[in-house]
Amino acid sequence: MSTLNHAQDIPTIYQTVEKNIQQQEEKVRVMMRLREGIFKTFAIVGYPRVINSLQALQAAAPSEVLAQLPAKPIRSESSWHDITEQRERGNQLFDAIYERHTQRVREHMYNAYPDLAQTAINHLYGPILSEPSIVSAKETSLIMIAGLMVQDVPAQLKGHRYGALHLGATQQDLSRVENLVDLLSRYYKQQEQR
């Protein structure tokens, strides 16, 4: 929904989930996972759509849930040590995704524009995509696949599909994500044609 620029429908997701949850603690956990999942998509879809999506999600949550959410960033950048750890974690995730193709992917990015590779690893993979405390690496890879599918970028999609498998996703996981993205894409395409 974020990638397709339909932030207005995100509250429906939260409201549907919340109806099936009784415990307040679980509602907070779900909200945190939704926020983190949407936030991580900025590496694929850009900040404006993520801002709109997170604001729509925020508006949907009851005040008692919002009051229990963390008030500080989960990604600390208060020391060079924090930043170095994030970059190391980002390199590890990048290596795990691209496995035996890692060096080739880095070289392609570097040759296209040296800052592209540096920024991807140090600023996207490091602090954003590799942060595992709320959404795991496997789950992050499935989020990336969803965003890439909608944008029709087959080379990146292929790499991240293999990456998801390297991170523990199954073919069934991939099929579920692909079916859901296909369903949502067709739904929104039909809505636009009306």
In contact, 154 and 123? CB cutoff 8 Å:
no
Query: What average pLDDT does this structure show over 133-155?
Result: 95
pLDDT given for residue 86 in this prediction: 96
- Name the pTM for this structure: 0.91
Domain ranges of the chain: 1-74, 78-130, 136-194
Average pLDDT over the chain, rounded to whole? 94
In contact, 129 and 90? CB cutoff 8 Å:
yes
Question: DSSP 3-state assignment of 67?
Answer: coil
Q: For residue 164, which of 134, 138, 129, 132 has the smallest C-alpha distance?
A: 138
Question: DSSP 3-state assignment of 150?
Answer: helix
Cα distance between residue 31 and residue 95, in whole Å = 30
Q: How far, in Å, are 2, 47, 54, 71, 168 from residue 61 at the CA level?
A: 17, 21, 11, 15, 31
* pLDDT 10s digits, 18-62: 899 989 999 999 999 999 999 999 999 999 999 999 999 999 999
For the cut 90, the answer to whether the pLDDT of residue 194 exceeds it is no
